[in-house]
Amino acid sequence: MDSSPKQSQREKLEAWLRYYDDLNLGEFYTDRRTMGNRPTKRLAENAPATMAAVRPAIASAPLKTAPPIPALPIVNAPSLFEAVDRVENDTLERIREDLGECTRCRLHKQRNKIVFGAGNPHAELVFVGEGPGHDEDVQGLPFVGRAGKLLTQMIEAMGLQRDDVYICNVVKCRPPENRKPEDDEVATCSPYLYRQLDTIAPKAIVCLGGTAAQALLKTKDSISRFRGQWFDYRNTKLLVTYHPAYLLRNPNAKGDVWKDLQKVMALLGLKTKKASQ
């Protein structure tokens, strides 16, 4: 019998895997960047199959060989905490209630109103921005300032109305001076965003700018690495485009954004309006 440290390590690992399998926690322990495009939305359904696929690989693979890591992260396997965070029969109302008059991070100190999100709770398309600005903080609604007007135009150019889509942000309180939210603020607030997205279950998510993309794709890479490409976010198509505030400063980038939105329109089966209509 092999009683080497490697063997006992393997036995311990297998025991843990059986334990997590029993808990239906699926593949949280795997390197999520190496998972490819496997559907993971229905955890309970998928866990046994994925466990079966993973276990023989672990049993036969030499412990030292690490699989190659692709350049871009494909986020589709929930972590342990995401798996536990999935709330059965969740609703936007319940998520808002759970958020309450939040004081979980420093952003609450200077905020006027929490900006939870607005729009169709059954939307096929969700836009995710960074965080509320001044106008949003006053009104408690997302994207109602200058950048918001441009977002409305973008939505209408797609042949939709604002009420057809859902709009929300990574952080729900305005960062002072419209600074970027800090990592710990994003980490504190993003579970509510994940729940919003799980609950709405859209066909497509459009990240407006790098902060939303980084929060959902769990990367620090710059937007130039992933703008205009489709990603898988927990079995939902996710595309990253420039933030409308960036477009206000760089109108030349509008063409790129329109190309990105046309990809979303193709996915949703939306037709470009003719000029005469």
Encoded one letter per residue, x for contact with ligand URA by CB under 6 A and - for no contact, window 150-179 reads -------------------x----------
Q: Does 185 bind ligand URA (CB under 6 A)?
A: no
Report yes or no: 241 and 207 within 8 Å, Cβ to Cβ: yes
- Binding segment (CB under 6 A) for ligand URA, from list 13-21, 105-113, 116-124, 142-150: 142-150
One residue of 51, 147, 186, 216 binding ligand URA per CB under 6 A: 147
Burial class (CB in 10 A: 0-12, 13-18, 19+), 118: buried
Decide whether 78 or 131 has the Cβ nearer to ligand URA. 131
Q: Does 130 bind ligand URA (CB under 6 A)?
A: yes
Tokens at residue 159, please? 């042949």
- Binding segment (CB under 6 A) for ligand URA, from list 64-72, 138-146, 221-229, 230-238: 138-146
Q: Does 136 bind ligand URA (CB under 6 A)?
A: yes
Cα 170-174-180 angle, rounded to 5 deg: 65
CB atoms within 10 A of CB 4: 9
Burial class (CB in 10 A: 0-12, 13-18, 19+), 163: exposed
Decide whether 28 or 127 has the Cβ nearer to ligand URA. 127
Q: CA-to-CA distance for 237 and 230, rounded, in angstroms?
A: 6
Helix (H, G, I), strand (E, B) or coil at 125: strand
One residue of 143, 166, 192, 233 binding ligand URA per CB under 6 A: 143
Report yes or no: 8 and 16 within 8 Å, Cβ to Cβ: no
In angstroms, the Cα distances linking 212 to 128, 129, 186 are: 6, 6, 9
Q: Find the shortest distance in angstroms from Cβ 94 to ligand URA.
A: 22
Decide whether 137 or 232 has the Cβ nearer to ligand URA. 137
One residue of 78, 117, 119, 129 binding ligand URA per CB under 6 A: 129
Q: Does 132 bind ligand URA (CB under 6 A)?
A: yes
Decide whether 169 or 199 has the Cβ nearer to ligand URA. 169
Q: Find the shortest distance in angstroms from Cβ 119 to ligand URA.
A: 12
Q: Which residues contact 9 (CB under 8 A, 6 or more apart)?
A: 63
Decide whether 152 or 272 has the Cβ nearer to ligand URA. 152
Q: Which of residues 231-260 bind ligand URA (CB under 6 A)?
A: 245
Q: Find the shortest distance in angstroms from Cβ 246 to ligand URA.
A: 10
Q: Does 196 bind ligand URA (CB under 6 A)?
A: no
Q: Which residues contact 160 (CB under 8 A, 6 or more apart)?
A: 125, 270
Report yes or no: 43 and 84 within 8 Å, Cβ to Cβ: no
Tokens at residue 144, please? 């109602």
What is the size of the binding site for ligand URA (CB under 6 A)? 14
Can you give the binding site for ligand URA, defined by CB under 6 A?
115, 129-133, 136, 142-143, 145, 147-148, 169, 245
